[in-house]
Structure 1
Amino acid sequence: MPTRRTVLATALTSAVAAAVPLKAAHAQQQAYAAYVMCYFKESPNESDDSYALHLAVSTDGLNWMPLNQNDPVATPTAGTQGLRDPFIQRRQDGTFVVLATDLKGRVFNLDNQYIHVWDSADLTSFSGYRRVHLHDMATHSWAPTSFFDPERGEYGVVYSAHNGTRDVFMVNYTTDFTAMGRPQVYFDPGFNVLDGYVLPHGGAFYLAYKSLEDGNLYVARSATGAPNTYATLTRGLRQGQAIEAPILVASNTGNTFWLWGDSFSPANAVFYAWGSSDVGGDSWAALDHRGYTAPVSAKHAGISPITAAERDALIDRWGGPEWRRLKSYNLPGRYVRHADRVARLDPYPMEPPADQQWRPVPGLADATGTSFESVNLPGSYLRHANFELRLDANDGTALFAADATFHAEAGLADASWTSFRSHNHPDHRIRHSGHILRLDRLGADSSQVAREDATFQITY
């Protein structure tokens, strides 16, 4: 009898091969060829909240595969016994340290002088867990990040705090993330700021931050990275109704930079991204949601470059998800989910999050096709009935098997995406109409709107 891993591999071969081409090899070899993301989780109704360390990996820096089934890889055991806002720092010796806010849940403790810290050789295990004391002020220590200062030969740990006048960024310098130097103001532009993120690049230092005065994100530059030497470069950036937690990333493959942010409210916990070819300029362009996908329920993340070997080791250690999601091509903020047994497109985030997670297995009627089993209602599959798609329990009949089997092919609107042809109505394909999924007779000669309605991305 095949194992679950064998079944999954077979399903993915049939579902993905025609739709997701392999990435071309990099034009030149790079020390770093992938990325790791760390995050905690929140969902609108708290059903998927997790105040612990989560990891995801990516080869392109935009589309992310959560590890360990999107479950935690480490959990604090002291302080509040929860974390928010994790950050991964690569040490000069190639190993890692993980920092995080000592805070659990959505009720904020304003007076916490500590942060969580772990050591790790390669992020496949974590050791040396400790709470590190940063200051004695009656204030918080939120969203710690760090960077290496070559002039000092030390790491600067930057975090949000209130200095008695307003919200600023503080910094403590350290060599071992245990013995912390004295706290000092790192960035105080004369108004309240939150969530600092430092990117050393090209001999300079770039600081992304949120202004609490207007709610926008900004990028500032310093030639030295020393405290109080930053000058803001950009106009305010915002997508969505509210945004926070900027992440500034340099691409591994060229002169491309990304600025990430996520929405403030868990009820609308959406990641947004911008791209630029000049981190020192003011030319950030918002990216289309078609181009990137963050992990389910991820909040306030950190992103670090890693090697291809490190990425492979992380996947070997923690494993990738057994489930997939289906993103709409022309409504890329929406995903296929079941609700009251009806298959539909709903905006992300949604409750419960597992409604949008599907376990692809070899087609019930034809193993070269794919059937989609519900993760939270195992034994139930996406099938068509009277040309409308719904979720039903497998009754073991040949008709059910045929109704629940689909064949992946190059997307009708974009060949790098996927369209799904019905097994027993081969001239019909899955499409959405009024946000409800159905089968329609579609082909290359169908309207542009219809072809886009029938195009999806197989993602995580």
Structure 2
Amino acid sequence: MFLAAVVGAVGLVAPLGAAVPAHAAVVNSDYVMAYFVESPTGSGNSNTVHLAVSPDALEWTPLNQNQPILTPTAGTKGIRDPFIYRLQDGSWVLLATDIRTGADFSAPNPAIHVWTSPDLVNWSSDTMLTVNAPNTQSYSWAPEVFWDAGRQQYAILFSGIPNGSNVSKILVSYTTDFKTASSPAVFFDNNGQGNIIDADVVTGVNGVNYLYYRGADATLRGAKSTSLDPGSFTEYVTAPPQGQCVEAPTVVRSLTNANQWWLWGDNYCPNSKFDVWQGDVTTGNWTALSKANYTAPIGAKHNTIQPITSTEYNALLNKYGTTTAMRLKSWDYPDRYVRHQNGQGRIDPLPFDPQADSQWKLVPGLADPNDVSFESVNYPGSYLRHSSFDVVLNTNDGSSQFAADATFKKVPGLANSSWSSFQSYNYPDRYIRHYNFQLQISPISTSTDQADATFHVAP
């Protein structure tokens, strides 16, 4: 989603589009992500606001045990598509689509959710803001906001169907206080192309403004303009390297390299998962990033990412805490995570249900507290252990044999020392590895063995 401009390579940030006095500038060092949660069969759905933090916008740690930070109390009492944004005075606003789990996404709805906060940890009550009243048969999806310095107003973009049309366009409504808003106008429709949704605007990059969106062909596209006026944007990027079924673009600028950008997209075929591209928004050149290089919160969907200060980062950690649930990502199949299924340990691509099958508590080793054991999050008291060299999930029977079989020494990754490998406690010549996606403990001799035995531990 929209990202505040970065001034210089150290992350000195001022609200976009305005001449801001020095005392109003802030030094950003980290990032916050807002999202809601969804799983393939719906068992993990949470139409609430979740937050995560990151030092680099790629590796994310969910806050509050990946439980909601804000639960909607107005409208349908459900949200999707949360968008978080720093206002001109340094405070924050969070907008979201009004929709509850299981509801009709396309049902007419003129209003969006609004929360405000001075510091990301103290939030106002949930209120509704009408942005789309004249379009009586339209939804108001995926709101986002940017500061329009020329108008001295905040522009709220959202996806909707204007009266007299049968396709979605990017609409805009203006506000100064997030309590009332102007009647909507068409902001962008790419010369009449149909069903355009999910706008994300980045303003003031060397005098140019950029808009990324999901096109009618269900791919991410980019447009640009030297103006912020409705109708002024012209497409300049058609489909970065990707498959079909990608939506919800989020454009993120590095805080340490002003020429480095990332483009996040929500790939929903067959089930929602994030793809990330690395490149430069000014040229529109993007290269797909391996999933080995980023880790999104489990179940996260339709995110927004903003830079924050170290003070805000620490306040979020102090207020909400992080999570004790960890996952193990495969080095050579980075779309796959260690999970249990029917008592067998294996690696499978996320997303799947139940999501918690891939979540573990790394506890002191049952046989040696200097090592680790993997306790299942959704089956407390059950652990990964080896049996006839296969890795399985069993309930701890309290025996010394079980303790030894369920204990592993965490060592630098055999294929990548910044990752991890896990050496068996009672068979120290063997390591946890996958073979045909099943987990076992085996001796390691080849580079393939090393890759199969290397994992990234992440929330």
2:219/2:243 contact within 8 Å kept: no
Matches within 5 A, 1:406-445: 406-442=408-444
Could you give the per-residue CA deviations for residues 2-31 of structure 1, whole angstroms, max 9, x where no partner exists?
Answer: xxxxxxxxxxxxxxxxxxxxxxxx984751
Compute the displacement of 1:235 (Å). 2.3
In structure 2, the partner of 1:219 is 222
Superposed CA deviations along residues 164-196 of structure 1, whole A, max 9, x for unmatched, are 323211111111111212211111211021111
Residues 84-233 of structure 1 aligned to structure 2 (within 5 Å): 84-106=80-102, 107-136=104-133, 137-138=135-136, 139-163=138-162, 164-165=164-165, 166-189=167-190, 190-192=192-194, 193-202=196-205, 203-212=207-216, 214-233=217-236
Q: For residue 38 of structure 1, what is the aligned residue in structure 2?
A: 34
Deviation at 1:109, TM superposition (A): 3.8
Measured in 1, the distance between the counterparts of 2:395 and 2:252 equals: 45
Identity %: 46
SS of alignment partner, residue 246 of structure 1: strand
Contact 1:168–1:185 (8 Å) recurs in 2? yes
What is the aligned residue count?
429
Corresponding position: 1:55 with 2:51: yes
Counterpart position of 1:21: none
Output the amino acid matched with 1:378: P
Q: Which runs of 5+ in 1 are unaligned?
A: 1-25
> 1:216–1:238: 8 Å Cα contact kept in structure 2?
no
Report if the CA contact (8 A) 2:218-2:244 is conserved: no
- 1:355 corresponds, among 354, 357, 382, to 357
- Alignment partner of 1:263 out of 261, 267, 274: 267
Amino acid at match of 1:146: V
- Seen in structure 2, the aligned counterparts of structure 1 residues 28 and 185 have a Cα distance that, compared at 3 Å, is closer
CA distance in 2, matches of 1:28, 1:51: 35
Partner in structure 1 of residue 5 of structure 2: none
Describe the superposition over 1:52-78 as per-residue Cα deviations: whole angstroms up to 9, x where unpaired.
111111111011111111111111112
Is the 2:343–2:392 Cα contact (8 Å) retained in structure 1?
Answer: yes
State whether residues 233 and 280 of structure 1, in contact with CA within 8 Å, keep that contact through their aligned partners in structure 2: no
Call closer, same or farther: CA 1:234–1:241 in 2, change over 3 Å: closer
CA contact (8 A) 2:200 2:250 kept: yes
TM-aligned CA distance change 1:99 to 1:60, over 3 Å: same
| Cα drift, residue 241 of structure 1 | 4.4
**What do residues 73-94 of structure 1 show as CA deviations (whole Å, max 9, x unaligned)?**
1111121110000100100111
Q: Deviations over 1:181-235 (max 9, x none)?
A: 22111112110211111112423321100111x2211111111222111111212
Instruction: Give per-residue Cα distances to partners, 1:413-450, cap 9 Å, x unaligned.
Output: 111111111111111111000100001112xxx21111
Q: Is the 8 A contact 1:204 1:225 kept in 2?
A: no
Q: Contact (CA 8 Å) 1:339, 1:355: kept in 2 or not?
A: yes
User: Contact 1:167–1:191 at 8 Å: present in 2 too?
Assistant: no
Misfit runs of 4+, over 2 Å: 26-30, 201-204, 237-241
Aligned to 1:399: 401
Q: For 1:243 and 1:296, how far apart are their aligned partners in 2?
A: 18
- Alignment partner of 1:234: what SS? strand
Please report how far the alpha carbon of residue 339 of structure 1 lies from its aligned counterpart in structure 2 after TM superposition: 0.7
Kindly provide the amino acid, as one letter, of the partner of residue 119 in structure 2.
D
Query: Is residue 53–residue 75 contact of structure 1 (8 Å, CA) maintained in 2?
Result: yes
Task: Give distance in 2, aligned partners of 1:229 and 1:29.
Answer: 29
Q: RMSD across aligned C-alpha pairs, in angstroms?
A: 1.5
- Tell me the distance in 1 between the aligned counterparts of 2:265 and 2:101: 20
- Unaligned runs of at least 5 residues, structure 2: 1-7, 13-26
